[in-house]
Chain A
Amino acid sequence: MTAVLEQLLNGAQFGVMLFLMAAGLTLIFGIMNLINLAHGSLYMAGAYVAAATFAAFGSFLLALLAALAAAVALGAAIEIVVFRTLYDREHLDQVLATFGLILFFNELVRMIWGATALYMQVPAFLAGHVELLSGSPYPTYRLAVIGAGLAVALLLHLLIARTRIGMLIRAGASNRAMVDALGVNVTLLYTLVFALGAALAAFAGAMAGPIFTVESGMGESVLILAFVVIVIGGIGSLRGAFVAALLVGIVDAMGRAFLRPLLASFMSHAAADNAGPALASMLIYILMAAILLIRPQGLFPPRGR
């Protein structure tokens, strides 16, 4: 039982990180109708800046702030230089242009920080572990990640549902022309939304630093999964992103841990050794395909556009 609990927590931790990425993506896509493959690069930028700042100054808080600031600046820059032209283009153009951006940013971090990976230590105040049930310590840092992710999710919900900016964002998603006609600066609104998405991605990257290796191209694998999450959750829906992210995270963790032993109970060990990891890595995609077949718009498609 403790094994299951531990894997659930692992899944939840991975899930909230996916949510941070997916939230930004779904906002940007849902509101601005923009597919941004370079979202992973913002995650990577956050991780690199956080790791470098932490190594230089030893303060985790400073590292987080630096990462957020860098991402917001970078996001705004990309938005103004590249995306303003892309809003009116077909999705294919957006996919290709942002794919080119990925190549550029991957190389850029190599040029700035070198090709070998950066390592980020877990900050001292979050090191160690917490006894959840007796005899079952769980790393404090990972619990902190789960907590931080949930906090951000709550803040985001409050922002979108309860503030004026949030109302403008929702209105802009429904009918951009009308909002524009009412005198709201839609261009500025879009830039703000993009900056928000970038900040979320960078936050995820900074938190991921101590867990994953900070290396060029680290954004790609998370990006694909983030897209899977928003497709499952329903594009443009924050609630969908949240549910789908946790679902994906938990399914992944459980699959990696329990599929092989499960298969071994009725297959030969050698076959299970092959089939287990294979199925585990394909599980998420099978899940996505299955959900799309039943509900092609995702689990929580946002009402009206």
Chain B
Amino acid sequence: MSVARRSLVIGVSLAALAITPAIALAAGEPFYVTLLTRIMIFAIAALSLDLILGYGGMVSFGHAAYLGIGAYAVGILAFYGITSGPLQFAVAILASAAAAAMIGAVSLRTSGVYFIMITLAFAQMLYFLAESLNIYGGDDGLNIAQPSDFGRLVDLGDPPTLYYVVLAVLLVLLLLSRQLINSRFGLLVQGVKSNERRMAALGFPTFRYKLVAFILSGTICGLAGALFANLTLFCSPSIMHWTRSGEIMMMVILGGMGSLFGPVLGAALYLLLETVLSGATEHWQAILGPLLVLVVLFSRSGFFGMLIGERTARGRADG
């Protein structure tokens, strides 16, 4: 029963995503193509966070840093005239992976609130670093002259093309994530979330598993960042501000932590609400704030959970 509903929700959503550009362009409203591309990019970021947050129990409050690294990789290379798409994306992915490896290696030695604080601190450090590098615009941001060049393969400067590329990336990542979660590695990471001491007692190298998951998560988020740079053709330090990390976390929670499609719905819900509400009233945050509080207090399975009629058990994890 729940499986059928789940498939229905996912299927309808994906179908809607697939046909929207055609409808929007026919109606002469290209704005919605841009908006939904933005939603899907944040869906990728939220998905990456959910992998370690929902499944791994690691509360990383500095995920926006990887968005920034990916975006600035594209921006800085373009600044020096290197516009090759494959090269830019490769650098974005490698740089995010390296950063996640370094940050994870230090942060994962701590746990609980210390872990939250230290991931936040690292994100702030990168934010301040970007702010002070005046050569790359600093606080003013960096204009990107042209999108990543993939030659005749795709033209990322054409909004519908970019839209479908992002959609394809999102789909591939959803499928890969499902494989990952159900793999031995994925089950072990979930085991660590459930009871790390037990896993360690069973002889598993928990630190290594957490670190690998952390690096994967950061890398995917970096990819989202590179796509974001192509969407906006502009990167600025504000993309790495800690409140941005909070927003991504909100998307995960609103959508449904611990599910794969939840973050996608969460990103859509958050950004659509922001767009609609800010058009309706300038005080939209007064509505969004309490909404988040309510969702946290009463429904961990988020919007996706509500749609498929599921309630996860609200227990208290150890430690």
Contact = CB atoms under 8 A, between A and B. Distances in A.
A97 B294 CA distance: 8
Contact of A101 (B106, B135, B289): B289
B59 A91 contact: yes
B283 A97 contact: no
Contacts of B149: none
Given A91-B113, A103-B285, A231-B114, A285 B124 contact: yes
Interface residues of B, number: 44
B312 interface: no
A289 B110 contact: no
Contacts of B183: none
- A interface majority secondary structure: helix
A285 B121 contact: yes
Contacts of B134: 273-274
A224 B132 CA distance: 19
A227 B53 CA distance: 21
Contacts of B297: 82, 85-86, 93, 97
Interface string A2-14: 0000000000000
Given A285-B125, A293-B106, A96 B292 contact: yes
Interface in A237-294: 273-275, 277-278, 281-282, 285-286, 288-289, 292-293
Contact of A289 (B106, B135, B290): B106
Contacts of A82: 293, 297
Interface in A289-305: 289, 292-293, 296
Interface string B106-120: 100110111011101
A129 B133 CA distance: 37
Contact of B296 (A97, A105, A288, A292): A97
Given A91-B116, A104-B289, A224 B135 contact: no
Given A89-B316, A285-B121, A296-B110, A277 B289 contact: no
A278 B132 contact: yes
A292 B286 contact: no
Interface stretch (A106-114, A151-159, A195-203): A106-114
B109 A296 contact: yes
Interface stretch (B6-14, B151-159, B195-203, B241-249): B241-249
B276 interface: no
B68 to A, nearest CB: 15
B175 to A, nearest CB: 27
Nearest to A298: B114
A278 B129 contact: yes
Interface in A56-105: 82, 85-86, 88-93, 95-97, 99-105
A35 B106 CA distance: 22
Given A92-B59, A99-B250, A285-B124, A111 B243 contact: no
A78 to B, nearest CB: 10
Contacts of B117: 227-228, 231, 288
B274 to A, nearest CB: 11
A100 B116 contact: no
Nearest to A231: B117
Nearest to A96: B296
B120 A224 contact: yes
Interface in B125-183: 125, 128-129, 131-135
A282 B249 CA distance: 24
Contacts of B209: none
B242 A91 contact: no
B253 interface: yes
A91 B135 CA distance: 40
Given A96-B249, A96-B292, A107 B59 contact: no
B316 A90 contact: yes
Contacts of B55: none
A95 B61 contact: yes
Contacts of B290: 100, 104
B26 interface: no
Centre residue among B132, B250, B283, B284 by max chain A CB count within 10 A: B132
Interface in B45-92: 53, 59, 61
B116 to A, nearest CB: 7
B193 to A, nearest CB: 11
Given A107-B285, A108-B286, A220-B243, 14 more contacts: A85-B297, A89-B316, A96-B253, A100-B290, A103-B288, A103-B289, A107-B289, A228-B121, A231-B117, A274-B132, A277-B132, A282-B125, A282-B128, A289-B106
Interface of A: 29, 35, 82, 85-86, 88-93, 95-97, 99-108, 110-111, 220, 224, 227-228, 231, 235, 273-275, 277-278, 281-282, 285-286, 288-289, 292-293, 296
12 contacts: A91-B116, A92-B53, A99-B292, A100-B296, A103-B286, A103-B292, A106-B285, A107-B284, A111-B283, A274-B132, A278-B133, A285-B122
* Nearest 10 CB-CB pairings of A with B: A104-B289, A278-B132, A103-B289, A100-B292, A107-B286, A281-B128, A100-B293, A107-B285, A285-B121, A97-B296
